[in-house]
Structure 1
Amino acid sequence: MQDGPNIALIASLVGDPARANMLTALMTGAALTASELALEAGVTLPTASSHLAKLMDGGLLSVASEGRHRYYALSGPQVAAMLEAIMGVAASVGPKRVRPGPREATMREARVCYDHLAGEHAVKMMDGFVERGVIVRDGRTVTLGPLGASYFAMRGIDTANLGTSRRPVCRDCLDWSVRRSHLAGALGAAILDRILAEKWARREKDSRVVAFSPKGRTAFERTFLA
């Protein structure tokens, strides 16, 4: 037996079609009940419960009880990053699914990736951060640059407070649709929070799509891309 992480176990958990659909549904960052996840997976509730137990045992999900209901969520941003990367590989080399129509373009433009912005806008934003020295990239490792704290403070984001959590301030996340990196971590989440708080964009119901209004897109670009 080889030493190191058990890749085969994680791959088997993600590789089942029903479980893959459940995990994808949770990429919105929302917590869902077993019944809701059964609908996403196209299976009966008892079958969904069996799948959820396996995902829980594998450490991919967390669960919280609220009254009579149990709500399942991804166990953390590391799991979301793994799923986003797998989606990128699947989009690149795997068989193509039937496209869902006009929503596909909006998914590629801007969507939520667990709790941060992904898609074309997010990749452009990350590129700009690196070009201006706000974010420093060393391979797949990204850190806050010398100009970062003041840059984000001017935009209403206190990076010092972000650094008090156990979560990294900055993390690279491979974007499945653009096949390049966008910004995750506590800072990525704070930027999405700012976008939504300013009402530059809204989350579409039952979707990962982040829809910018024309004025909101202009404000976003002026704030984070200029």
Structure 2
Amino acid sequence: MRILLVEDEPEMAEALRVGLHRHGMLVDIAPDAARACEALQCRVHDLLLLDRQLPDGDGVTLIAKARACSADLPVIVLTARGSLADRVEGLDLGADDYLAKPFALEELLARIRAISRRPAKVVLPTVQAGRLRFDFASREAYIDGESLPLPRRQVLLLEALVCRLGRTVQRDVLLEAVYGFDDAIQSNAFDAHVSKLRRALADADAGVEIRAIRGIGYLLREMPRGEG
């Protein structure tokens, strides 16, 4: 799960990022509404964690903008403003849940799990190519029905390629899908992820291959029968 956390207190933001990362979640941090709006345009997040008291306004004003970018994006408001009137206002403005500070990480994780169990308004498809099947709902890859275990960044890379199957995907788009906004990308690290994913697909005889398009990016294509 990739989360956009809108929080202006650096210590709180970092504590949440570290805590959620330990549970396998990738967290991007936006310290104000302006940068949150920019991040929402990327449409790469599965959940919005939203503080109300931001330097440039009330965070709940972002809910409508978030839904304009991604209609089904769940929103949990995290705030010190925990009165009944504040909670009702936040929920009426479209928040899916409202958690008053201070809170325990365990409670936030439980709220996230609860939202994740809700039926999606749009059924996410699976894509079949060669012997590979990718399930967008669970973000899992299968070869002839058997799970293909992959590290998290390789799963994110494969997801970005599969949803554009047969089309060239620009390198910048793939970097955005694989790395958090604040992640330091070491030299050649991304290419190493591509190489390892390519090898994993080849070793599994997946019937698909990742091709490099010089100066542009990569594409995932289904291999014709007898090729490979």
More strand by share: 2
Tell me the TM-score normalized by structure 2.
0.24
Tell me the TM-score normalized by structure 1.
0.24
More helix by share: 1
Larger gyration radius, structure 1 or structure 2: 2
- Larger RCO (CA under 8 A, 6+ residues apart): 1
